[in-house]
Structure 1
Amino acid sequence: MYKKIMVAIADDEISRSALEEAQYIAATDGAVLCIVHTVTKGMKGIDDDEADNRKAGAALLERARTTATTDATPIVETRLLDAEERYGRTAIMEAIAAAVTEWGADLVVVGTEGRRGLERLVTGSVAEQLVKTVEISILLVRPH
């Protein structure tokens, strides 16, 4: 089964559900779990204060690591990723995809809101972009 599971999170309910699913699979398979969060770097209209964003991201990862670390999942790593401006709208996906490859994950878990129609066309979806980019299994977690 899976040996290295990566879960991408933000500070929202969908991410908490994705983390629960990833933690369950890691515990079942005896896998290492890596929790990642992406901080946008130098992106116009998104970064008000990069230092504050990094601090908040690190705090989010620490809370997630504490939640996910149990007797069944004793090895939980975290990584704060930088999304680079040069990638534009795909910056977050590019950062996650690079981390998946670098870490050698064999499963990536992400939450998805299941947007449809014009909203999906305008905003895009990190999850949808990952499906098209990474060459490993992806588990998409929808809201309950």
Structure 2
Amino acid sequence: MVAAAPLVRDMRQSLRSELGAFSLYSLLPRVTRDAEVRRLLAELRRDETEIIARVSQLTTELGGTPEHSRWTRSLVAWGLVIATPVIGVRFSLRLCCEAASTVSRWYAEYAAFCYSLGDRDRVQRFSDLSMTKRIHATRLRTFVDNLPMRGGED
């Protein structure tokens, strides 16, 4: 698929975002006392393992080389986790929610691109990824909307 080169370049960014999400979902439970939030983060982390595998497979199929880790994403995740006791878990979850929503849109755009090429299989696979990330964003938004605000937040 010659037209896949721009898609592979774009997918590198989405894979980096997934690696960052995995790091955050792994670290944030350490700084929250809310059992429901910890449970949500554990579920999202499990999903991220599968998403990373699926995006890596798609990247390989399209001729790219997927990354398996990204130290800068881990460093940013650690920074956010260290700041969470000050800024509040609600703010951290909001960032995760916005990121999931953005990546969902990217996957929808990848599906549209594949549709324009007549690649129906990848249309479905990217659409499934988009839906999964949209569900993540919705679940995170539920907590963002219902957790108490920290002093000075928002």
Taking structure 1 as the reference length, the TM-score comes to 0.35
Q: Which structure has the greater CA radius of gyration?
A: 2
Question: Larger relative contact order (C-alpha < 8 A, sep ≥ 6)?
Answer: 1
Q: Which has the higher strand share?
A: 1
Taking structure 2 as the reference length, the TM-score comes to 0.33
